[in-house]
């Protein structure tokens, strides 16, 4: 195994260790240990893995963790801009980043669009329904949520935030 000089991620030689589970575990450890300023470089490196689904899953885990950590932090916009550039070619990760940004906008009182929320993935709508305290978000999901689970979660949360 070789260590990638810029990120410290161990690269598996496909001829010696083709097991994506080994690479996935390695990426998860690297993401757990990476300093904030090294995150974008590590994301870029992981997204070059030949198993795009596995790489995307590892990156999604990191992206979700950092988005939660920075959710109301003033540094979120700069982090989002940096990540957006790095993940631009990956539709799934790009969408997840946009959805985190939508959730954040609603949470911190920035402008957001109801249509964007209602056309978001089930993951985003359910997360909003279960965690948002913004009345407009919950009302939109109670009225326009596509799934009964999302509408019910939004109704339940509405009762908790009143």
pLDDT at 140: 97
* 56 and 10 co-located in one domain: yes
Alpha helix segments (H runs only) across 119-147: 122-131, 135-144
Residues 126 and 107 in one domain: no
Query: Could you tell me which residues are beta bridge partners of residue 11?
Result: 2
In angstroms, how far is CA 65 from the centroid of its own chain?
A: 7
- Are both 28 and 97 inside the same structural domain? yes
- Looking at the structure of the chain, the number of domains it has is 2
- Which 8-state DSSP code applies to residue 49? S
On whether both 37 and 61 belong to a single domain, the answer is: yes
Dihedral-angle region of residue 100 (phi above 0 means left; psi in -120 to 50 means alpha; beta otherwise):
alpha
Question: How many other C-beta atoms can be found within 10 angstroms of the C-beta atom of residue 110?
Answer: 11
For the chain, report the end-to-end CA distance as a whole number of angstroms.
56
Do the Cβ atoms of 1 and 17 come closer than 8 Å?
A: yes
Burial of 37 (0-12, 13-18, 19+ CB in 10 A): exposed
User: Two tokens at 28?
Assistant: 């998860």
pLDDT of residue 7: 46
The residue segments making up the domain with residue 45 are: 1-112
Let me know whether 133 and 67 are in one domain: no
pTM to 2 decimal places: 0.87
Kindly state whether residues 102 and 130 are assigned to the same domain.
no
CA–CA distance, 41 with 92 (Å, rounded to integer): 18
Same domain? 96 vs 155:
no
Does 54 lie in the same domain as 20?
yes
d(CA 56, CA 48): 10
The predicted pLDDT at position 161 comes to 83
pLDDT means per 10 residues, the chain with 162 residues, are: 48 56 93 96 95 96 98 97 98 98 96 97 97 96 95 94 76
Q: How far apart are CA 22 and CA 25, in angstroms?
A: 5
Q: What share of the chain is helix, strand, coil (3-state, %, to 5)?
A: 70, 0, 30
118 and 104 share a domain? no
Residues 8 and 61 placed together within one structural domain of the fold? yes
Q: Report the distance separating Cα 20 and Cα 158, nearest Å.
A: 43
């Amino acid at each position: 195994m070789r260590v990638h000089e810029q990120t410290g991620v161990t690269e598996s030689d496909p001829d010696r260790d083709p097991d994506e589970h080994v690479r996935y575990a390695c990426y998860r450890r690297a993401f757990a240990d990476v300093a904030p300023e090294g995150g974008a470089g590590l994301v870029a490196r992981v997204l070059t893995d030949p198993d795009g689904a596995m790489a995307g899953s590892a990156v999604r885990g990191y992206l979700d963790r950092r988005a939660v950590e920075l959710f109301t932090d003033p540094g979120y916009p700069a982090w989002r801009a940096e990540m957006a550039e790095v993940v631009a070619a990956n539709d799934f990760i790009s969408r997840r980043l946009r959805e985190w940004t939508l959730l954040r906008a609603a949470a911190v009182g920035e402008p957001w669009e109801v249509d964007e929320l209602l056309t978001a993935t089930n993951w985003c709508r359910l997360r909003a329904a279960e965690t948002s305290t913004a009345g407009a978000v919950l009302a939109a999901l109670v009225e326009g949520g596509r799934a009964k689970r999302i509408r019910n979660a939004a109704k339940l949360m509405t009762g908790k935030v009143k």
